[in-house]
Amino acid sequence: METDFPWDKLTGEPIVYASMGSLQTGNADVFRAIAAAVSKHKNLQLVLSIGMVLHPEQIGPVPNNAIVVNNAPQLELLKKASVCITHAGFNTVLEALTQAVPQIAIPVTNDQPGVAARIAYKKTGTVTSLDELDPSLLSGHLDEVFNNPTYRDNSRSIQKAIAKRNGLSVAADLLEQGFGLPKKSK
């Protein structure tokens, strides 16, 4: 899906890309907390993807260098991002790790708490809960992730492991095998 994104509004500051996924969106308070937390860091730029339930003006005041959109080209932005604030959805986490981007996870439902636990265990980022979420706490997580090189180093290690494993080909082979499709010669 092609997404219209205002690339010209990127300032060159380190990007904090934030998305709470495409399925469980609509909690404006979460997005407000993210915007307020990033506003405490004057040297960062926020790109906030809020989904299709809300309108950007519902988020309220955001930093001047923040970009709030309904949909963002996530993979392209992760290639430029320094940190990803995420709901710990499997796709977002894998896309962040393939770009060696450390994360701050705010799990919401389903498999997200388990994925967030793995982020914490592998030290590719930090985790907080919706119940505890406030701008000061989230700002502290940003400080931790930016100032502790462990998260970036561990994300790079996972990135290398993903690249070495060639996961897309392995997944395709498993699907073909599972559906009983004949192997194609390479």
Closest by CA position to 15, among listed 104, 60, 102, 81: 81
The H-or-E segment that residue 26 falls in is none
| Three-point CA angle 38, 53, 108, nearest 5° | 60
Please give the full DSSP string across 154-166, using - where no structure is assigned.
HHHHHHHHHHHHT
47 - beta bridge partners?
A: 17, 67
pLDDT, tens digit (0-9, with 9 covering 90-100), for 159-170: 999 888 876 677
Phi/psi of residue 100, each to 5°?
A: 60, 35
To the question of domain 7-178 being in CATH 3.20.20.70, the answer is no
Look at 128 and 186; give whichever has higher pLDDT: 128
Per-residue confidence (pLDDT) for residue 3, from 0 to 100: 65
Q: How many CB atoms lie within 10 A of CB 23?
A: 11
pLDDT, tens digit (0-9, with 9 covering 90-100), for 108-134: 988 999 999 999 999 999 999 999 999
Q: What is the pTM of this model?
A: 0.88
